[in-house]
Amino acid sequence: MNQQRQDGEGGGGAFSLDRAMSAVRRRLRIVIAMPIAAAVLTSAVMLWLPDRFDASAIVQIDPRKKTISNLEGVLSELKADTATVESEVEIIRSRAIALSVINILKLRDDPDFSRPSLTSRILAATGLREPELPEPIPSAAELGPSVNNDPMTGLLGPDEPGQTRPARDEVAVAFSERLKVTRVRNTLLIDIRFSASDAVKAARIANTIAEVYLTEQLKAKQDVAGHASRLLEKKLWSLRKEVSTAEQRIAQFKNENNIFESEGQILGEKQLARLMEQTVAARNATAEARARYELVQRLATNGDSGAGIADVLQSHTVRLLKEQLAKATGREAELSTRYGPKHPEMQKVRAEVREAHAQVDAEIERLVTNLKNEYEVAAGREKELGQSLDSLKSEDATSKEASVRLKELNREAETSRALYEALLARYKQTVETQSLQLPDARIVEQADAPLFPAAPKRKQFVVIATFGGIGLGIGIALLLEFMTLGIGRPEDVERVFELAHLASLPESASGHGGRDELHDIRLMVASPSSSFAESIRALRREVDVRRTSDAPRVIQVTASLPNEGATMVASNLAHHYAMTGARVLLVDADLRRAHLTRQLAVTRQAGLAEAITRGVPVENAILFDVSTGLHFLPASGAAPSHRSPPELLAAVDTRALLARLKAQFDVIILDAPPLLPIIDSRIIGDYADQIVFVMAWRRTSKQIARRALTSLGFNQNKLVGVVVTRVDSDVLSDEGGIGSAVASPVRGDMLERAA
C-alpha cells in the first residue's frame, strides 16, 4: 500500500499507451499548433540567415622517397600510417596556418571575419558575456632585453619576465570555426573545406590553406635541415679542435723520443726491415758463391781437364775459347791424316792448339779467382750486415715502449680524424642540399567556387523543426497529462488511495456565461439527460450497492478543501434520490459558510443550529421542494448563533436529532464542510453511515487528499469511495461518456416550508 502511494506522488497517474493516445487526441490543437509554429519560426530564421558556401580542396600525403637529395639521416620522410595522416590534419587546423592565410589574404579587413559571430553577439546583447576584444600582441622590442631567446630554437626561456599571456584573436577564432579538415576515409587524402558567405572567397581561402600548408611543410623541412647544419657545424668545430690536439700530441711525443717517420713508417722500424731483407739477400749470395767456389775447387782437385770447370763457371769467354780450341783440335786431326808430325802445318796447328789450351786455362784460373773474391766479399758483406742487424735489434728493444704509446696516439688521432671527415661530408651534403627540398604532400584537386550554398540547409531545418514541433507538441500533451497536480484519470483513484472510484462529474457551467451556483446544485433538475446527470445516477448506484443494510442511512459528502464540488455533489445526489421517489433529507451541515442555505433557502427562519440550541422543532425548520420532493434542512436561521460550530455538532442533542430524523427519512445526505481547515467534518463523520469523499480533477493534490482522508481516523472504514469533479469533458468522452446536454435555466426560489 505504501509503495502504491509513493508511486502516485509524482504525477497524474500511471503511464499507458491508451492513456497517452487519449492525451494526444484531447490536446490535438496543441500537437498541431506546435509543428506549424516551429515550421513558420524556422522558415523565418532560415530566410534571415545569410547563405554559406563551402569550397573544398584535396591534399594528398605523399610518402614516396624523393631522389633530389639523400638526407635520410637528417630528415626522414613521412610514414603512410593513420597517426601521421591525423597529425597532418591537426597541422592544417593549427593556428599558425590560420594566421598565415589571414595575413596573406588580408582577412582582418574583411567584415565577414572582423565582426563577432552570431552567438557572441547574442551573448553580449543579453549581458551573459562581455564582448572580448583582441589584445595587442607585444613585439620583441617591447618585450625588452629580459626575454631570453634561444639562438637555436627561438623560444623564450622558462619563467622569464618578458613572457606574456597569449592574446585572443577573434579573427583567428572565426576563421577556425569555418574551417573543417577531415581525412577522406582510410586514404592518404585530406579534405580542406572552408565556409564563407561568398563562393569565390571560400574557394580562394581553401586553395590558400592548401598552398600555405605545403609552403609551411617545405619551410619546416628547410628549418630542420638548417638546424641540423648548425648542429653539425658546431660539432665539426669541436672535432677539428680534437684532431689538431691529437696531432700535436703525436708530434710532441716523437720529438721527445727521437722518433722519425718515412713514408708513413717509423724510421728505425723501416731501417730494421730493410736491413733484415739485405741480410737475408747477403746470406743467399754468400751461400751461392761458396757453393760455386767449392765446386770448382773440388773439380780442380779431382784433376778435371777444365771442361767440367768451364761448365760450372758458365762464362761466355770460356765458351768462345773452347770453340776456338775445338776448331784448332779439329784442324789438327784433319792435317794429321795428310801430314806427319813434323810437318810445318802440323806444328803450326799444334802451336794453335796449345795456345788455345793456355787461353782456356788462363781464363778459368781468372774466373776461379773471381769466384773466390766474390765469396770473400759476400761473406764480408754478410758479416757486416749481421753486425748492423744486431745493433738495430738492440736499439729497437729499447724504443719498443715508445712505439706502443705512439701507436695508441695514432689510433686516437685516426679515430677523431675519421669521425671529423664523416661529419664534414654530411655537413657539406646538408648545406648543399638544404634548398633542394620537396614537400611530402601535393594538391590533388583545387577548390572551385561552389554553385549552390551549403548552408543553411533550409528545407532540412524546416522539416526537422516540423517533426521537432510534433514531438514537442506530443511531449507537452503527455506532460500536461502525467505531470499535472492531483488526479489525472479516474482510475488513478483506486491506484493512489485504494478506494473505489464512484463517479467522474464533468465541468458544469450555467447558461448565463458565468458560474451560476444555483444552477450547479440543481443540475439534476435542469439537465436530467446530461452527462452530469448520468454521472450522478452512477454515483447513487455505487453508493447504494456499498451500503451494509436496507435501513435508513446518513451519507456524509465532504472534501479536503473548499470549492472542490462537495456541495454540488451532495445537492444533486439528494435531488436524484428525491426524484426517484425516495424520502430524502438534504442537510446543510456547514454551519460556518451555510452555502446550500444561501442558495436554496434565502427566506429561512430556522435551521439545524436553532434546532440544537433553542429547542426549535426540527420539523419546523425543514423546507420542502414541491417539484422534486426534496426535503432540505438549512444550516441556521437568519440570526447568528453564539456557540461555536464544533460545540454544536458534538452536542448530545445533535446525535439525538439525527437519530430522530433517520426514523423519518430513507436517506439523509449531509453537506459537510471540508476536512482539513476545520474539525467540523471530522465530528460529523461520527454520525455518518457512509462517507463520500470529493476531490477536484487536477486541482486537489494527492498529498492534501491523503491528509484529509487520514484525518477521519477510525471513520475511514465508512468511506464509500471518491468522486472526481470538474473533469474535462474530453476525458469523459475519451472514456465513452455521454456529451453534456444544454442546461436550462433554473429558478432560484424552488423551496417552501413543509406543512
Nearest-CA neighbor of 102 among 26, 246, 208?
208
Dist. CA 492–CA 495, nearest whole Å = 5
pLDDT, tens only, 8-42: 444 455 566 766 776 677 667 888 888 888 888 88
> Which residues lie closer than 8 Å to 42 by C-beta, 6 or more apart?
461, 462, 465, 466
Give the pLDDT score at 690: 95
Residue 437 pLDDT exceeds 80 = no
Task: Strands of 420-565 (E only): list them.
Answer: 441-445, 501-506, 553-559
Dist. CA 694–CA 689, nearest whole Å = 16
Q: What percent of the chain has pLDDT over 90?
A: 15
CA dihedral 125, 130, 133, 134 (to 10 degrees): -130
Select, from the ranges 55-64, 152-161, 699-708, the one with the highest average predicted confidence (pLDDT).
699-708
- Find the mean pLDDT for residues 736-750: 38
Residue 250 pLDDT exceeds 90 = no
Give the pLDDT score at 149: 44
pLDDT, tens only, 93-142: 888 898 999 999 888 888 877 666 555 656 566 655 544 444 444 444 44
Please give the single-letter amino acid code of residue 416: S
Please give the single-letter amino acid code of residue 745: P
pLDDT, tens only, 327-376: 878 877 877 777 777 778 788 887 888 887 787 778 777 777 877 787 77
Kindly report the backbone phi and psi dihedral angles of residue 665, in degrees, each rounded to the nearest multiple of 5, phi listed first.
Answer: -125, 155
Strands 631-633 and 623-625, bridge-based pairing: antiparallel
Give the pLDDT score at 520: 84
Residue 559 vs residues 140, 593, 681, 692: alpha-carbon distances, Å:
83, 14, 9, 8
Q: What is the DSSP string of 325-354?
A: HHHHHHHHHHHHTTS-TTSHHHHHHHHHHH
pLDDT, tens only, 641-659: 778 889 988 888 889 899 9
Nearest-CA neighbor of 211 among 437, 454, 447, 435?
447
Dist. CA 275–CA 257, nearest whole Å = 22
3-state secondary structure of 516: coil
Q: How many CB atoms lie within 10 A of CB 419?
A: 15
Total-model pTM: 0.49
Q: How many CB atoms lie within 10 A of CB 256?
A: 9
Nearest-CA neighbor of 70 among 489, 436, 582, 535?
436
Dist. CA 612–CA 178, nearest whole Å = 88
Dist. CA 330–CA 530, nearest whole Å = 185
Q: How many CB atoms lie within 10 A of CB 744?
A: 11
pLDDT, tens only, 188-237: 889 999 888 888 888 999 999 999 988 888 888 778 777 878 888 888 88
Dist. CA 583–CA 661, nearest whole Å = 11
